[in-house]
Amino acid sequence: MRALVAACVLLAALGGCGGDDDDADPGAPPAATAPADDEGAEPQAPPPTAPAELPRAECPDGLDGCRVASGRIAYVERVDPDGDGDAHFVLVSEQEVTLPGISVIDVARELRPHPLPGIGDYLSAAGPVHTGSYGQRQIEAVAVRVAPDGG
């Protein structure tokens, strides 16, 4: 779990890179990005979104505090140190359950997808949000859907 928390912190830090410029004029328009070559490159594409083949996990009726998060897997903890057989996933996710741009998913042994998805695959999970052992907010999955990265 310690590695999971470290991965979350690293991803959050990377997600925050290139942030505010303290010397910038707050009334000035955002600076344009310089082209990558002499021909003038197209603007960089936004981060990949979940493929159409990823079915969205759904919260069961009557489950209080249930949230859904979907995104690309950035980290997988395949073997949980406490030995209960669950898996943890860190998603790059618009839902931001854990940190800005990050959602952590805890998947119990009986819900673990087989084969277990890896980095670059897409995952959608639904479940109540609980506090993990290191104080992080995470979804305790009751439903999980997976799609490969397609590449």
Least confident among 26-40, 101-115, 116-130: 26-40
**Phi/psi at 8 (5° precision):** -60, -45
Q: Is residue 134 part of a domain?
A: yes
Mean pLDDT score, 129-150: 90
Write down the pLDDT at residue 21.
39
Q: Is residue 118 part of a domain?
A: yes
Least confident among 21-25, 62-66, 94-98: 21-25
Burial of residue 30, with CB atoms counted within 10 A of its CB: 0-12 exposed, 13-18 middle, 19 or more buried? exposed
Confidence of residue 45 (pLDDT cuts 50, 70, 90): very low
Q: Is residue 104 part of a domain?
A: yes
- How are the residues of the chain apportioned to helix, strand and coil, as percentages rounded to the nearest 5? 10, 30, 60
Q: Is residue 48 part of a domain?
A: no
Whole-prediction pTM: 0.68
Question: What are the residues facing 103 on neighbouring strands?
Answer: 91
Total domains in the chain come to 1
Name, in order, each residue with C-beta under 8 angstroms of 91's C-beta and a sequence gap of 6 or more. 69, 70, 71, 72, 73, 74, 102, 103, 104, 105, 123
Q: Is residue 29 part of a domain?
A: no
pLDDT at position 129 over 60: yes
Pairwise pLDDT comparison (14 vs 62), residue with the higher score: 62
Q: Is residue 79 part of a domain?
A: yes
User: What is the extent of the structural domain holding 143?
Assistant: 2-13+54-147
- Picking from 50, 58, 65, 59, the residue whose alpha carbon sits closest to that of residue 117 is 50
Least confident among 22-31, 70-79, 101-110: 22-31
Please give the mean pLDDT across all residues of the chain.
77
Confidence of residue 73 (pLDDT cuts 50, 70, 90): very high
pLDDT at position 40 over 50: yes
Q: Is residue 132 part of a domain?
A: yes
Pair 48, 149: CB distance under 8 Å: no
Pair 90, 16: CB distance under 8 Å: no
pLDDT at position 29 over 50: no
- Picking from 128, 68, 49, 137, the residue whose alpha carbon sits closest to that of residue 98 is 137
CATH number at residue 74: 2.40.50.140
How far out from the chain centre does Cα 33 lie?
A: 26
Place of tokens 């959602």: 103
Least confident among 8-12, 16-20, 50-54, 107-111: 16-20
What stretches of the chain show up as alpha helix (H) in DSSP? 2-15
Share of residues in the chain with pLDDT > 70 (%): 64
